Structure 1
Amino acid sequence: MIDRESRIVFGSLLLFVLAHAGSSVVDRQFGIALTERPLLSFLLFAGVAVALPQLYLAVTDGGLSPRSRLRFVAVATATFAVAFAADADGLYNLLIATIGTASLLGLLCYEVLADYRAASDGPVIGLS
């Protein structure tokens, strides 16, 4: 039997495949190709296939720590942003790079805040 985490990841990959197949139908019918839309391609691949299941599992799952899942999402998003921004032009390049940079800055803020909270929960030394 497949565990819950695998079902969620496989489900998101199935959703990605169905969206990609739907985009090929739209391309044949209306001439709107997914490859001509780098921001949409990035959001579909990095968002639906990679980040969405990990974020869902970080909120609901008790297995792996949510902190490590958030780290994976931020680093994977930034990595895919570099790859997709290389193929994009103009404003799309800037938007994709901004999303990747924001994910790393968000991770940095999250880590600093989590470490600050952990340090403030420690023993207090009184100076009296």
Structure 2
Amino acid sequence: MVSRENLVIVSSFVLLVLALAGIGIVDGATTVALGEYPLVMYLLFAGLTIVGPQLYLAATDDDVPPRTRVRFATIVWGLFALVMADVSRAEAVLGSGILGADLETLQHLAILAIGGGAFVALVCHEFVAGYRSQETDESQSAR
């Protein structure tokens, strides 16, 4: 019997295949080549196959703690950002100024900002959660 978790993950991959087929149809029917937009591909691939299922399972599944799923999704989201973004283009635009950058370079910069921002948010959340757990431990031990 297939577990619910595996069913959700396989369903996300099926949705990715359908989305990629839809992109192919749009590319063929119009002059807009969605495959040339790295931000769209990053959001589709990493968001649809990794982050979406993990966040859905974090909200609905009780087998694995939700914090674990959110941590995994955030770390993988950041790793995909490093893999899919052209870091050299992003560094070049930061050195020369954002206003003169082309659209593709700005998209690579946005991918890095999304992945880095998610990681920073995770670290901040863990610091706050650790502080709160320490605070409640101290207040319970004082009683």
Same-fold call, TM > 0.5? yes
Distance in 1 between residues matched to 2:130 and 2:76, nearest whole Å: 22
Once the two structures are TM-superposed, the CA of residue 113 in structure 1 deviates from its matched residue by 1.6
Distance in 2 between residues matched to 1:123 and 1:76, nearest whole Å: 34
Structure 2 residue aligned with 1:115, among 125, 130, 134?
130
Once the two structures are TM-superposed, the CA of residue 107 in structure 1 deviates from its matched residue by 0.7
- Structure 1 stretch 38-47 or stretch 86-95: which is displaced more? 86-95
Q: Letter of the aligned partner of 2:65 in structure 1?
A: S
Structural mapping, 1:1-128, within 5 Å: 1-86=1-86, 89-124=104-139
Distance in 1 between residues matched to 2:31 and 2:15, nearest whole Å: 22
Once the two structures are TM-superposed, the CA of residue 123 in structure 1 deviates from its matched residue by 3.9
RMSD over aligned Cα, in angstroms? 1.6
TM-score normalised by the chain length of structure 1: 0.90
TM-score normalised by the chain length of structure 2: 0.81
Once the two structures are TM-superposed, the CA of residue 86 in structure 1 deviates from its matched residue by 1.2
- Structure 1 stretch 70-79 or stretch 29-38: which is displaced more? 29-38
Whether contact under 8 Å (2:59, 2:66) holds in the other structure is yes
Deviations 1:72-108 (A, max 9, x none): 1111111111122118742111111100110110110
Distance in 2 between residues matched to 1:120 and 1:11, nearest whole Å: 41
- Structure 1 stretch 67-76 or stretch 116-125: which is displaced more? 116-125
- 1:11 aligns to what SS in structure 2? helix
Aligned length: 126
Whether contact under 8 Å (2:85, 2:111) holds in the other structure is yes
Distance in 1 between residues matched to 2:34 and 2:75, nearest whole Å: 24
Deviations 1:38-82 (A, max 9, x none): 100000001111100001111111011111111111111111111
Structure 1 residue ranges without an equivalent (≥5): none
Structure 2 residue ranges without an equivalent (≥5): 90-103
Deviations 1:12-48 (A, max 9, x none): 1111110001111111111322320110000000111
